[in-house]
Amino acid sequence: MDPQASNQPAVTQPPFWESDLFLNAIPIVAVGLLVYAFVTARKQPLWAEAFRRIRRNPLALVALGVILLYAGIALLDSFGSTDAKTQTRKTILDNIFEREQERTYSAPFASVTTGEPKPQKLKAPGSHLMGTDGVGNDVFYRTLKGARTAFIIGGLTSLIATPLALILGMVAGFYGKWRDDLIQYVYTVLASIPSILLLIALVLVLGRGVVQICIALGVTRWVGLCRLTRGETLKHRDREYVRAAKALGASDFRILTRHILPNLLPIVIISVTLGFSGLVLSEAILSYLGIGIDPGGGIGSWGNMINAARSELARDPVIWWNLTSASVALFILVLAFNIFGDALRDAIDPRLRS
């Protein structure tokens, strides 16, 4: 036993899911999986044709570019290292865009504070692209921080809701009878509860962390996709090729996973892409209502920024940059996802019809 060691204040080792290794590995795995999915899909004529169509659609390319830009910002905010001394994690984004904290509000590119009876000189005059907020944080930097949260909310919720919807929808559509009745009953009941009430209840029970909000959103968001999957499965179940597969002696599991699922994928992917923007908006709405991401947690959130901006609009002079910055960032991402989702649907649909 080393007496010195026991005297020192114990340096608390962060749990594994907060370690740099884990936090840096997640985005790599996520990007890797997406690239793998893309490369695999390109070999399929349906997708190869869809990608060709998208390449010929300038609007879709712009939307995709915007999405990739946001994704790039989110990635910059994902890789980082923990400072051994201060025990705080700094991401690449933090190192580039973080500005010195000012006293209070300041307008974009201003050199003095706003809202104080006697304007004070800023510590970093002219460097705040979108000004600073009430406690002197750089608004542009905070807006950029929101991108990662948006992608986590959209991605993780999709990861929770999609498998749930797919499995239940396929089982209901393929087997029918009591399984169909049961699953339909469950989602009809769920859909008849106002989703915002359900969300509030779930968030209150689970807590206000990002993962908890994703779970809450996932639980309320699978119904639409489940309905879609059930209907599509019902359609494919009676197709000749499914009957042909049965006549070859294929098991139900094989027919569901190997024959029906690949035929559902295009429509599922379109639906998830279009749903993504709704999820990003949901986060903002929840945060605006004060039941979203905990504003004290240091996690970026456009909803929290908009929420904070509520009182600012009543001030004189009007503090507009906080609200504008967050709203525009949110608006552009949602618009880009909607345009891209529509383009994806148009690119795939003609082949679905034939």
According to CB under 8 A, which one of 206, 245, 285, 289 is a site residue for other proteins? 245
Q: How long is the chain?
A: 354
206 interacts with other proteins by CB under 8 A: no
258 interacts with other proteins by CB under 8 A: yes
According to CB under 8 A, which one of 53, 221, 227, 259 is a site residue for other proteins? 259
Using the rule CB under 8 A, give the single segment among 25-33, 82-90, 241-249, 324-332 that binds other proteins: 241-249
45 interacts with other proteins by CB under 8 A: yes
Using the rule CB under 8 A, give the single segment among 5-13, 39-47, 52-60, 298-306 that binds other proteins: 39-47
User: Mind spelling out the 3-state secondary structure of 151-204?
Assistant: HHHHHHHHHHHHHHHHHHHHHHHHHCHHHHHHHHHHHHHHHHCCHHHHHHHHHH
The residue among 200 and 245 lying less far from other proteins, judged by its C-beta, is 245
Residue 164 tokens read as 């749930």
The residue among 201 and 352 lying less far from other proteins, judged by its C-beta, is 352
Using the rule CB under 8 A, give the single segment among 106-114, 163-171, 237-245, 309-317 that binds other proteins: 237-245
Asked if 215 and 160 count as a contact pair (C-beta separation under 8 A), the reply is yes
Comparing CA positions, the residue from 150, 59, 72, 34 lying closest to residue 340 is 59
262 interacts with other proteins by CB under 8 A: yes
- Smallest distance from the beta carbon of 266 to other proteins, in angstroms? 9
According to CB under 8 A, which one of 177, 253, 298, 317 is a site residue for other proteins? 177
| # of chain residues touching other proteins (CB under 8 A) | 24
244 interacts with other proteins by CB under 8 A: yes
- Smallest distance from the beta carbon of 347 to other proteins, in angstroms? 16
Asked if 122 and 113 count as a contact pair (C-beta separation under 8 A), the reply is yes
39 interacts with other proteins by CB under 8 A: no
353 interacts with other proteins by CB under 8 A: no
Using the rule CB under 8 A, give the single segment among 51-59, 184-192, 243-251, 275-283 that binds other proteins: 243-251
Contact footprint for other proteins (CB under 8 A)? 44-46, 176-177, 238-241, 243-251, 254, 258-259, 262-263, 354
